[in-house]
Amino acid sequence: MKNVVVLGGGVGGTIVANLLARRLRREEAQVTLVDRDGKHVYQPAFLYVAFGGMDPRKVARDERRLLHRDVRLVLGEAERIDAERKEVHLADGRALAYDRLVIALGARLAPEELPGMEKAALHFYSLPAAMRMHDALERFPGGRIVVTVAGVPYKCPPAPAESACQLDYFFRRRGIRDRVDIHFLSPISRVFPLESVNPVVERLFAEHGIRSTVFFNVESIDPEAKTVNSLEGETIPYDLLVMVPPHRGAKVVEASGLGDRGGWLPVDRHTLRVKGHDDMLGLGDCTDLPVSKSGSAAHFQARVVADAILADLRGEAPATRYDGKVMCYFDAGYHKAMAMSFDYEHPPETPRLGLKAWIAKHLLNRAYWALVPTARV
């Protein structure tokens, strides 16, 4: 019997494991999923926690309950991948042999890469940080809020601009919007990464009095002076700093010599096989794919990875290729949102901002648990 080992119980790893368990006969292969703590986290909820729109207790569920009964769940931290011997070594000394390895470990927050960041900045990229941000926003008496990213790449490229809109909406509801100056700093030439969507976001910023500066790539923070400095040579003051922390690839990928300089796993953009290792496949935020680091990308990639493994185990040619598909939402507040979808060949069309997409986004927030990790959609 063959062994398929999946590292990571996030959206990508969970869907791959469930699809395989559903489609493989029991005597064909054992599917094992390794997860650090057995908790599956719905990360898009963090933004809502930061702005008080979601109960922090509702963002995570037991991974075991989301997995097909034939998937073996191993709790532990993968410490080293031995590509020669085809084994994964866990921190507690256990070793797992694999015929096919799936690496779906996500991105790692690395605030230590920007000195001063941990103390000076708020963010919504982990549950504790989102809860701290919510407290700080509730207490904020007014002043200048700077919203930016510490570096690239980072998860969910629209999220910083989305958070600027949410700040406007939050302080409008708190009744102190006139005392809050929101200043958005973008690392690239426009406020929104997607060119065809940028005019919509620029219009939103103009309507809601959100200022912006482009080509601002953070080089350092001066927590004493309360300024943020760019590598392009500008300095901007803040009273409250909202900054997406630096990201790196997965630790075990780096420790095993499989990552690039940022620790990102190099995978083929269509087959999702790890370059130079045909028996390993990578998906989601931990890879170097030139697509958004987002659950939706991992979701679409998971089907390709599961198809490839099934074909490998059965000696067939894989039937599907990843086409770069990503789908995402932007919640602008005021019960308005927009949905965007694109792939390697097709840029997104300019979306309509309105109630329909807002309802769809909020339905997804609720329906996620029943539909997505379980691979029903």
Partner 1 sequence: METAVKANVLIDARGSFCPGPLMELIRGIRQAALGETIEVWSTDQGSRKDIPFWVQKAGHELIGMFEGPDYARFVVRKRR
Per CB under 8 A, does 111 bind partner 1? no
- Beta strands 235-237 and 227-230 are antiparallel
Q: Which residues contact 185 (CB under 8 A, 6 or more apart)?
A: 146, 147, 148, 212, 213, 216, 218, 228, 230, 236
Which span (46-54, 169-177, 187-195, 365-373) binds partner 1, by CB under 8 A? 187-195
Per CB under 8 A, does 262 bind partner 1? yes
Residue with smaller CB distance to partner 1, 144 or 190: 190
Torsion angle, alpha carbons of 211, 216, 220, 225, to 10: -30
Dist. CA 98–CA 103, nearest whole Å:
12
Residue with tokens 């990790």: 373
Residue with smaller CB distance to partner 1, 166 or 296: 296
In the list 347, 363, 367, 370, the residue contacting partner 1 (rule: CB under 8 A) is 347
Per CB under 8 A, does 343 bind partner 1? yes
Tell me which residues in 216-235 interact with partner 1 (CB under 8 A).
Answer: 217, 231-233
Contact call for residues 200 and 353 (beta carbons, < 8 A): yes
Q: How many residues bind partner 1 (CB under 8 A)?
A: 31
Rounded to the nearest 5°, which phi and psi values hold at 351? Answer: -80, 165
Tell me which residues in 32-61 interact with partner 1 (CB under 8 A).
Answer: none
Tokens found for residue 238: 């803040």
Per CB under 8 A, does 187 bind partner 1? yes
Binding mask 150-179 for partner 1 (x = CB under 8 A): -xxx---xx---------------------
Structure letter (DSSP) for residue 354: B
Which span (42-50, 58-66, 235-243, 256-264) binds partner 1, by CB under 8 A? 256-264
* Amino acid occupying residue 211: R
Residue with smaller CB distance to partner 1, 283 or 310: 283
Per CB under 8 A, does 348 bind partner 1? yes
Radius of gyration of the chain (CA): 21
Per CB under 8 A, does 195 bind partner 1? yes
| Nearest Cα to Cα of residue 211 among 189, 237, 186, 183 | 183
**Residue ranges in the chain assigned as alpha helix (H):** 11-23, 45-50, 63-66, 117-120, 127-139, 159-174, 198-207, 251-255, 295-313, 355-371
Binding mask 309-328 for partner 1 (x = CB under 8 A): ---------------x-x--
Residue with smaller CB distance to partner 1, 75 or 327: 327
- φ/ψ bin of 142: left (φ > 0), alpha (ψ from -120 to 50), beta (otherwise): left
Per CB under 8 A, does 290 bind partner 1? yes
Residue with smaller CB distance to partner 1, 180 or 326: 326
Residue 163 CB, nearest approach to partner 1 (Å):
16
Q: Which residues pair with 222 in a beta bridge?
A: 227
Structure letter (DSSP) for residue 101: E
Residue with smaller CB distance to partner 1, 152 or 311: 152
Residue with smaller CB distance to partner 1, 172 or 269: 269
In the list 291, 308, 332, 375, the residue contacting partner 1 (rule: CB under 8 A) is 291
Dist. CA 274–CA 308, nearest whole Å:
12
Residue with smaller CB distance to partner 1, 224 or 345: 345
Which span (9-17, 75-83, 134-142, 286-294) binds partner 1, by CB under 8 A? 286-294
Q: How many residues does the chain have?
A: 377
Per CB under 8 A, does 76 bind partner 1? no
Per CB under 8 A, does 8 bind partner 1? no
Residue 356 CB, nearest approach to partner 1 (Å):
22
Q: Which residues contact 269 (CB under 8 A, 6 or more apart)?
A: 289, 290, 322, 324, 344
Residue with smaller CB distance to partner 1, 214 or 355: 214
User: Which positions lie near partner 1, rule CB under 8 A?
Assistant: 151-153, 157-158, 187-189, 193-195, 215, 217, 231-233, 260-262, 269, 290-292, 324, 326, 342-345, 347-348
